[in-house]
Amino acid sequence: DIQMTQSPSSLSASVGDRVTLTCRASQSISTYLNWYQQKPGKAPKLLIYAASSLPSGVPSRFSGSGSGTDFTLTISSLQPEDFATYYCQQSYITQLTFGPGTKVDIK
């Protein structure tokens, strides 16, 4: 299995802040890395695919980067609707694995 880790596990930030979340894979996964956003009581939503591409409808304040084992998700200016938990997930092998998540809450 490929293990995924995320840091920090949680962070507190204010509206307008620039926020960077980190995800690391236990082995190289090229850019087979996706990010999901989950709000309480809701299903996850695909936020970024292939490490840096945004699906249609995702605001441009979200960006992703990285390849190999180290990846980042950046929110350039945090908005009230962005307070949520963010998960990374690898698709390099058919047995998908998720990171443990980073919870972003209001400072």
Residues that bind another protein (CB under 8 A): 1, 30-34, 36, 38, 43-46, 49-53, 55, 87, 89, 91, 94-101
Smallest gap from Cβ 21 to another protein, in A, equals 14
Instruction: Give dist(CA 1, CA 49) in Å, integer.
Output: 20
3-state helix, strand, coil in the chain (%, to 5): 5, 50, 50
Q: How far is the CB of 77 from another protein (least distance, A)?
A: 24
Minimum distance between the CB of residue 33 and another protein, rounded to whole angstroms? Answer: 8
Q: Which is nearer to another protein, 11 or 17 (CB)?
A: 11
What is the C-alpha to C-alpha distance for residues 66 and 64, in angstroms, rounded to an integer? 7
Of 19 and 88, nearer to another protein (C-beta) is 88
Q: What angle do CA 58, 62, 63 make, to 5 degrees?
A: 115
Q: 44 or 68, CB closer to another protein? A: 44
Q: Which is nearer to another protein, 82 or 87 (CB)?
A: 87
Q: List Cβ neighbours of 20 (8 Å cut-off, separation of 6 or more).
A: 72, 73, 74
